[in-house]
Amino acid sequence: MPDNLIEQLKRAKEQVTLAEDRKAAIRARIVETIDSRVRATDALRRPVHAQQARSFGFLARMRVITAVVAVVLVGGAGVSFAAQDALPGDVLYPVKIGVNENVQEALAFSIQAKAQVAISHAENRLDEVSSLSAQGRLDAETETRLRANFEERSQVAEAAIEKLHERDDLQGAASAAVRFEGVLRVHHAVLASLEEDDQDTSGTGGDETDLNNSIRDRIAVLAGLRAHLEMDISEDAARLHVSDALKAAVSAMAFLQEKNNTGDNASARAEVEAKAAVQFAADAQAALDAGSYNTAFVLSNKAIGTAAEARSLATASAHLNGHAKRDGALGDLFKGQDDDEEASSTINGSSTEKIDMNVRTNASSRITASERTGTTESEDKNDDTAENSGRSNSSSGSGVLHFLGF
């Protein structure tokens, strides 16, 4: 080791000191900032420790429920609601994480509800990454933290799905898995598009980020699980799933009506997806009535997955609306894809994807032309096995993924 170099570095080090007055001035600025943040949130925030809330113990639940009541009583419900759209660095962000999400988590009693809440929080982190990125406010540190929280929430969701599976609640497991998959597919595409924008702007080529790689891996695992779950379905599971699919589709339509349609491509696409979800659900009901339980289950998966995508798209569109890079992110995402559906499915290559595309196209065309061009509704039990052998490995549960280039 060249000692003289180390010596030189150490001598250089001795020259660099932070002046006491500068240190004190920065300290004062930090204290002022953190105290004002504490004041802003203290009125709302009860001492609900994240770990206590996550333990789901009775006392922890009671504390959280008390916190909800307290928040409402001090008139903080509005603030709590306003915090829903807060981003890291915003004054209300600690309320979103420390109050809203802890409350949602502690109030989720069933395993399915826990899965749903974890999926929703994982989606929040992805929304935050996209929004900050579109606003040019995403720094490496925030990205690292959001990714870590996304991974943690995703693991909770996956563990809950696994537990449902272990308990033979195939319908519950499938329902949560396709919802999560739908959410991830939309965000994978949005993030990929934002990254492309960045590369176009900076003139650099680039690989996918770690976050998007992680999303892609999770999609693959969920798709595998879904395919597995679709293999052997009882009548009861099919009935429950169809009922869940109808609720998911109707709820997606209502969700879109609540959100202000921004009139852009993404909003329009979200609407098409929601309508397709309704049609998938209707097809699933018809298959169920005809006694084709596996088909009913597969179509229900499509309805639930497509409904989740519609909601995610509408949310992402609302959050990215008005920011400079937004058009690049969501606008381009769907540009020209209506015309290129067949081409894109061919480029993507696999025949299974083409089968999916046909189902999706059939559903859409039925919506617009009120025609029944598909085959699913006329299938009988004999067709059931063949239908599933073609789709079980592919059934994406979604149409939008084809538009997104999966």
Partner 1 sequence: MKVKTRKIYLEAYDAYADAIYRHCFFRVFSKERAEELMQETFMKTWEYLEEGHDVENLRAFLYRVANNLIIDYVRKKKEMSLEQMAEENPSFEPSDSGHEDMERNVLMGEVREAMDALPEEARQLLVMRYIDDLDPKDIAKLLKITPNHVSVKLNRAMQQLKETFNHAG
Q: Which residues bind partner 1 (CB under 8 A)?
A: 1-2, 5-6, 8-13, 15-19, 22-23, 26-27, 29-31, 33-34, 37-38, 41-42, 47, 49-51, 88-89, 93-94, 97-98, 102, 139-142, 144-145, 202
How many Å apart are CA 122 and CA 124, to the nearest integer? 5
User: What is the nearest approach in angstroms of partner 1 to the Cβ of residue 214?
Assistant: 16
Match 């809950």 to its residue by tokens.
Answer: 160
| Cα–Cα nearest to 353, from 295, 401, 296 | 401
What is the smallest separation between the CB atom of 16 and partner 1, expressed in angstroms? Answer: 5
H-only helix segments in 74-169: 77-82, 93-95, 102-106, 111-134, 140-166
Question: In angstroms, rounded to a whole number, what is the distance separating the alpha carbons of residues 93 and 134?
Answer: 18
Measuring CA to CA, which residue among 335, 357, 339, 338 is closest to residue 406? Answer: 357
38 versus 347: smaller Cβ distance to partner 1: 38
Min dist. Cβ of residue 319 to partner 1 (A)? 20
Distance from chain centroid for Cα 335: 22
Shortest Å distance, C-beta 23 to partner 1: 6
In the complex, what is the shortest distance from the CB of residue 140 to partner 1, in angstroms, rounded to a whole number?
Answer: 4
Q: Which two tokens stand for residue 112?
A: 């399915």
Residue 255 CB, shortest distance to partner 1, in Å, is 27
CB nearer to partner 1: give 127 or 181: 127
Distance separating alpha carbons of residues 90 and 82, to the nearest angstrom: 11
Nearer to partner 1, 27 or 335 (CB): 27
Least distance CB 354 / partner 1 (angstroms): 41
Nearer to partner 1, 145 or 335 (CB): 145
140 versus 369: smaller Cβ distance to partner 1: 140
DSSP string, 179-232: HHHHHHHHHHHHHHHHHHHHHHHHT---PPPHHHHHHHHHHHHHHHHHHHHTTS
Comparison of 136 and 336: residue with beta carbon closer to partner 1: 136
List of residues 6+ apart from 277 with CB closer than 8 A: 245, 248, 249, 252, 253, 302, 303, 304, 306, 307, 310
- Which CB sits closer to partner 1, 23 or 167? 23
